[in-house]
Amino acid sequence: MDFVKNSIPICGEVGYTYTMGFERQKRFLPHRSTHKESFMKINAHYQDLEQSYLFANINRKVASYAAAHPEKSIIRMGIGDVTRPLAPIVIEALHKGVNDMAAKETFHGYGPEQGYDFLRERVQSYYARIGVELAIDEIFISDGAKSDVGNILDLFDVDNTVLVPDPVYPVYVDTNIMAGRAIRYMQACESNGFLPDPPEEAADIIYLCSPNNPTGAVYDREQLKRWVEYAKKNDAVILFDSAYEAFVATKDLPRSIYEIEGAKECAIEFCSLSKTAGFTGTRCGYTIVPKALEPLNHMWLRRQTTKFNGVSYIIQCGAAEVFTEEGIRQTRENLAYYMRNAKVIADTLDALGIWYTGGKYSPYIWMRCPNGMDSWSFFDLLLEEAGIVGTPGAGFGKQGEGYFRLTAFSTYENTVEAMRRLKDLLQK
């Protein structure tokens, strides 16, 4: 069966291939011939999704190599998951939250869907540190940025044009395909430092992620200002993913789009404690929907109160400590650990004369594959000759071909060892 793709590529499409058992899907396909007057119809847009074989392929190759070479040590620098334990102050608050649930007097039942004020106020003060003033009811606590980045699309008509960068975090693409929305890709490449400027064409919904996943590149204030101007000119909305903001250890670069004047009138910001505080398995994030963006603020409140029941009280207790002075100090220690790893990687690539972005204010390093290799060939070479697992850039889109992502989330010792092996390999 053939299905027409609903994406309109400008500079190339993301390169997944996908099948989802189409034969079985026929059962509920719309427009089938039937003598019945009614039958349940599935959302046919799911058939337009392409399966990302990326991490499945990586896992298969790694497993196969490990089976053939049981003596070889494999260093994993592929997946963007943290490895350091939660900060002590967070652990303590989580225990207190659990204890509260053990006694009638301190038990918490249903909480506000948009989060407890004790946490929203902490997020508010966290933004105030970088000069961004938010009202409490512009802050929505969530179980993570991925949920909200996907669910926010409930608020928009199908008939909107979506603009995403290529390479891209696949969630931006897949959630829009599921809803049947047209997608345009903007080309990120070496010449723009993988930080594309607004195009000539108009768009309605714009995805920006800075510091970027997968490239680690960070927009400066001038660049973001051009995006805000573009969005306002086109009556568009920017969905700004700032999940990696905590890695921006300089005042020279923005950590929130709201540092740009006028952004509250055109941007929704998604953030997460996943990387900030190692919450990938603990689950908490927050989304900012400014009141200047009405009716979206009210619609999001309505969406969340109807389709969500809030984040666990226990988890919110832990999350609130992340934003205290002591919490910031403790969580930044883990970030410093990862950034030391990133520097080891960056220094190695500098010494090898290999072009890359990221690694300075991001746990991701996006490197050009050496000797003009394509990204899967370089993956195979790295795995087989050096026992290092990274992520081929082609997995993030057509423009990712020829590039490769390494992450700084391994241990320091393994990172040093991996870079020693990389040097040996490429200087052979």
Please report how the helices 325-352 and 88-100 are oriented relative to each other, as an axis angle in degrees rounded to 10: 140
Q: How far apart are CA 175 and CA 323, in angstroms?
A: 30
Residues in region 162-201 near a second copy by CB under 8 A: 171, 174-175, 178
Residues in region 233-292 near a second copy by CB under 8 A: 234-237, 278, 280-283
Nearer to a second copy, 6 or 83 (CB): 83
114 forms bridges with which residues in the sheet?
Answer: none
The contact pattern for a second copy, residues 293-332, with x = CB under 8 A and - = no contact, is: -xxx-xx--xx--xxxxxxxxxx-----------------
Q: Annotate 402-422 with b (16+ C-beta within 10 A) or e (fewer).
A: bbbbbbbbbeeebbbbbbebb
Please, what is the minimum distance in Å from the beta carbon of residue 375 to a second copy? 23
Q: What is the spatial order of strands in the sheet that 364-368 belongs to?
A: 356-358, 364-368, 403-407, 391-392
Phi, psi of 395 (to 5 degrees): -70, -15
Among 12, 15, 111, 370, binds a second copy (CB under 8 A): 111
DSSP assignment of 328-389: HHHHHHHHHHHHHHHHHHHHHHHHHT--EEESSSSSEEEEEPGGG--HHHHHHHIIIII-EE
Residues in region 127-156 near a second copy by CB under 8 A: 143-144, 146-147, 150-151, 154-156
181 and 5 Cβ atoms separated by less than 8 Å = no
Half-sphere exposure of residue 101: CA atoms within 13 angstroms, side-chain side: 14
Residues in region 387-406 near a second copy by CB under 8 A: none
- Our finding on whether 119 is near a second copy (CB under 8 A) is no
- Which structure tokens are listed for 104? 């009638």
Q: Which of 286, 277, 331 is nearest to 311 (CA)?
A: 286
Nearer to a second copy, 224 or 277 (CB): 277
Nearer to a second copy, 269 or 401 (CB): 269
Q: Determine the interface stretch with a second copy among 17-25, 325-333, 345-353, 369-377 (rule: CB under 8 A).
A: 17-25
Residue 20 CB-density burial (10 A; 0-12 exposed, 13-18 middle, 19+ buried): exposed
Please, what is the minimum distance in Å from the beta carbon of residue 235 to a second copy? 4
Q: How far apart are CA 224 and CA 69, in angstroms?
A: 48
Residues in region 31-50 near a second copy by CB under 8 A: 36-44, 46, 49
Nearer to a second copy, 156 or 366 (CB): 156
Please, what is the minimum distance in Å from the beta carbon of residue 326 to a second copy? 16
The terminus-to-terminus CA distance of the chain in angstroms comes to: 49
Nearer to a second copy, 251 or 302 (CB): 302
Nearer to a second copy, 12 or 111 (CB): 111
Nearer to a second copy, 111 or 402 (CB): 111
CA dihedral 217, 220, 222, 228 (to 10 degrees): 70
Q: Which of 300, 17, 16, 338 is nearest to 167 (CA)?
A: 16
Nearer to a second copy, 197 or 220 (CB): 197
Nearer to a second copy, 146 or 368 (CB): 146
Among 54, 62, 66, 202, binds a second copy (CB under 8 A): 202
Nearer to a second copy, 134 or 205 (CB): 205
DSSP label of 285:
E
Residues in region 64-93 near a second copy by CB under 8 A: 79, 81-86, 88, 91
Q: How far apart are CA 215 and CA 359, in angstroms?
A: 9
DSSP-derived 3-state class of residue 53: coil
Q: Number of residues in contact with a second copy, rule: CB under 8 A?
A: 87
Q: Determine the interface stretch with a second copy among 100-108, 350-358, 367-375, 392-400 (rule: CB under 8 A).
A: 100-108
Residues in region 351-380 near a second copy by CB under 8 A: none
Please, what is the minimum distance in Å from the beta carbon of residue 64 to a second copy? 22
